[in-house]
Amino acid sequence: DDILKKHVDGYLTNVFRASAYEADAKAGRKVYKSDTPGFTGMMNEMKAVYKDHKGDQSYLTLAFTESMDLFFVALGINPDDYAAFCYKFPKFSAWCNKISANISFSWVVGGAKIIRNNDNDAKGSNNALVIEKCHFRESIGEEGCIEMCKTPVEEYFTHRMNAPIKVSPQPREQGLGCKFCYGNECSLKELEW
């Protein structure tokens, strides 16, 4: 099980890195490449991008959007078709996004679990995912978390993919966790720490 996870994580890291290289090259941006393999190499690249573009949210969001589109393509998913699916089936796609994120993005954020909300009054219950200690946030820092993850992820999935998402980093003094809430019916309760 750990061997399979290690290979899947390595594959997804390599696909994401290659997607970022291709997106930057196509857009005529500087291509950031590290000789270090895996997650550490990817984080070296992300830190270099952030160092050069800290505070330039439009650049960081555009680079993320273009990289994610190519990441979807590399995984055999047409981003436009996926956006149409999310638009047509918003509740089901929120569920699908939560499940797929839980399975496929441990390579960048670490372990996650689905929140089981027992409050019957909360709309969108069970549409949240909690990351107990985010590896990306730990590596990039607080501002980098907001500028290179929270804002681009919310922008990309909400506006490009028609799949609304809210990202709520845990207050730093409490830890390095993060909550992702999927769908239009996300409750404030699900985002609270």
Task: Dump pLDDT digits (tens) for 123-142.
Answer: 444 678 899 999 999 999 99
Mean pLDDT, rounded, of the chain: 87
**How many residues are present in the chain?**
193
Q: Between 191 and 101, where is the model more confident?
A: 101
Cβ atoms of residues 22 and 15 within 8 Å? no
pLDDT of residue 104: 77
- Note the pTM of the prediction, 2 decimals: 0.86
Chain segment 85-104, per-residue pLDDT in tens:
999 999 888 888 888 887 77
- State which amino acid sits at residue 17: R
Q: Report residue 5 as tokens.
A: 């996870």
Q: 153: closest CA among 143, 164, 142, 138?
A: 164
Cα first-last separation, the chain: 31
DSSP letters, the chain, are -HHHHHHHHHHHHHHHHHHHHHHHHHTTPPPP--SS-HHHHHHHHHHHHHHHHTT-HHHHHHHHHHHHHHHHHHTT--HHHHHHHHHHSHHHHHHHHHHHHHHH-HHHH--EEE-----TTSTTTT-EEEESS-HHHHHH-HHHHIIIIIHHHHHIIIIISS--EEEEEPPGGG-S-EEEEESTT--HHHH--
